[in-house]
Amino acid sequence: MSGGASNLEILLSADSVYDFADKVEALQMVTAHDTSLIHLLKSEMASVKKQKTAIEQNRQAAADAKTSVSEKQGELSGFVREAQGVINDMSAKESSLQSASDDFAQKEEAASQAIDKWYADYQASQEKKKVELAQKQASQQKRSVSAKTAGSSSVADSTSGGAGAIGSGSMVWPVPSCQVITTYFGQVDEVHSHPHKGVDIGASYGSTIVAPDSGTVVMAGAGAGYEGYGNVVAIDHGNGLISLCAHMSSVAVSSGQTVAKGQVIGYVGSTGYSTGPHCHFEVRLNGTPVNPMNYV
């Protein structure tokens, strides 16, 4: 209803019964209209209130979700940090292992070079001996010839023609109790950066090692320069072949001794640059490493 007049004033201003009736009807219509308007407003207000509540609930849910997301983010970055730590730790361990392995490979190579030098020196000394022997024989022959010419009796040549026992050329397996090969001839891997010069026999500590063939012991025990090989026994088989067993816990022969094929020469160990008990068995033909499997 609009205007400042009250319902009573409107009714009192009627100038006839009909006019009064008209005014009453008009007032009733206005009141009904107002009432429905009020109902509409009330329901709209209720709806707005409902919506407001829903919005507030949504806002709370959104806030809760945001909190949960940031909590999860925090948790996740914690995991990421932890994983990164593990990765860093692992790569540190890897590089330390790599340098240990490089170090081991370097030492092994140094020992291998030292033993190569030993072979070369040994070969040279044998050659020298041969030359000296030949010279001695030649001069003896000369003397003998001149003595004969002079009519005297000849001088017998008592010098032997070679170094010690001559092997058969075929060898027996040096570790009778174990046939397991852990590293093959020529093998290159994480531990052996250069081709392996022999075969490694994975025998247990203390297993017996025997002479692969008969011959003369030319190296027994640990030597300067080739410490990496640990306790070694090398046998000159007299036919250009030298066999060598390394990393022994102890040796059972001494240098210069003549040994028979199959005779005990030492025991399996892990002396020198070795990662566990094994027998490194190598064969050299005129100083050059050859595959031992071709001789056993």
Interface residues with Zn ion (CB under 5 A) are 200, 280
Q: How far is the CB of 191 from Zn ion (least distance, A)?
A: 9
CB nearer Zn ion, residue 200 or residue 213: 200
Q: How far is the CB of 224 from Zn ion (least distance, A)?
A: 20
Q: How far is the CB of 264 from Zn ion (least distance, A)?
A: 21
For residues 221 and 214, what is the distance between their CA atoms, to the nearest angstrom? 19
CB nearer Zn ion, residue 167 or residue 292: 292
Q: Counting beta carbons within 10 angstroms of the beta carbon of residue 292, is it exposed (0 to 12), middle (13 to 18) or buried (19 or more)?
A: buried
Q: How far is the CB of 127 from Zn ion (least distance, A)?
A: 28
Q: Counting beta carbons within 10 angstroms of the beta carbon of residue 84, is it exposed (0 to 12), middle (13 to 18) or buried (19 or more)?
A: exposed
CB nearer Zn ion, residue 261 or residue 280: 280
CB nearer Zn ion, residue 261 or residue 278: 278
For residues 163 and 154, what is the distance between their CA atoms, to the nearest angstrom? 26
Q: How far is the CB of 112 from Zn ion (least distance, A)?
A: 9
CB nearer Zn ion, residue 237 or residue 278: 278
Using Cβ positions, the residue closest to Zn ion within the complex turns out to be 280
For residues 34 and 52, what is the distance between their CA atoms, to the nearest angstrom? 26
User: 209 has which bridge partners?
Assistant: 266
Report residue 128 as tokens.
């020298």
Q: How far is the CB of 247 from Zn ion (least distance, A)?
A: 8
* In contact, 296 and 261? CB cutoff 8 Å: no
CB nearer Zn ion, residue 200 or residue 236: 200
Give the N- to C-terminal CA distance of the chain in Å, as an integer: 125
Task: List Cα–Cα distances, 210 to 36, 174, 248, 268, in angstroms.
Answer: 119, 5, 12, 10
For residues 160 and 131, what is the distance between their CA atoms, to the nearest angstrom? 14
Region for 272 from its dihedrals, namely left if φ exceeds 0, alpha if ψ lies in -120 to 50, beta otherwise:
left
Q: How many residues does the chain have?
A: 296
Extended strands (E) in 132-240? 181-183, 199-201, 208-210, 215-221, 231-236
Q: How far is the CB of 245 from Zn ion (least distance, A)?
A: 10
The label of the residue with tokens 């007299």 reads 238
CB nearer Zn ion, residue 214 or residue 295: 295
CB nearer Zn ion, residue 84 or residue 204: 204
Q: How far is the CB of 218 from Zn ion (least distance, A)?
A: 19
For residues 61 and 80, what is the distance between their CA atoms, to the nearest angstrom? 28
